């Protein structure tokens, strides 16, 4: 590649990088894992993956989880 080509490529990559920085953060998404579990992406660095029975059990505990969070709110941290 010529020096001019390298400069053009560098400028293109800089623009692409800036566009990626400006793009809105990805929303929460889901997919079926290789082992047949439900993986939820976008809540943190790693996906949350549970089998359907585990999700159903967790959903059934939602009121209990909400109550626990309210009772321990002073101990819990919130991620910005």
The structural domain count of the chain equals: 1
Local confidence band at 80 (pLDDT 50, 70, 90 cut-offs): low
Q: Does residue 66 lie in a domain region?
A: yes
Helix axes 52-60, 62-71, angle to 10 degrees: 60
User: Is 65:75 a contact under the CB 8 Å cutoff?
Assistant: no
- For the stretch 8-60, pLDDT in tens is 999 999 999 988 888 676 689 999 999 999 999 999 899 999 999 999 999 99
Q: Does residue 17 lie in a domain region?
A: yes
d(CA 34, CA 24): 28
Q: Does residue 80 lie in a domain region?
A: no
Query: Which pTM was predicted?
Result: 0.62
What tokens appear for 16 in the block? Answer: 């692409």
């Amino acid at each position: 590649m010529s020096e001019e080509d390298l400069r053009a490529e560098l400028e293109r990559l800089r623009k692409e990088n800036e566009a990626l920085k400006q793009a809105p953060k990805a929303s929460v998404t889901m997919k079926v894992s290789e082992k047949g579990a439900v993986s939820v992406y976008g809540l943190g660095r790693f996906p949350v993956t549970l089998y359907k029975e585990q999700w159903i059990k967790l959903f059934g505990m939602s009121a209990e989880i909400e109550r626990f969070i309210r009772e321990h709110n002073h101990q819990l941290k919130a991620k910005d």
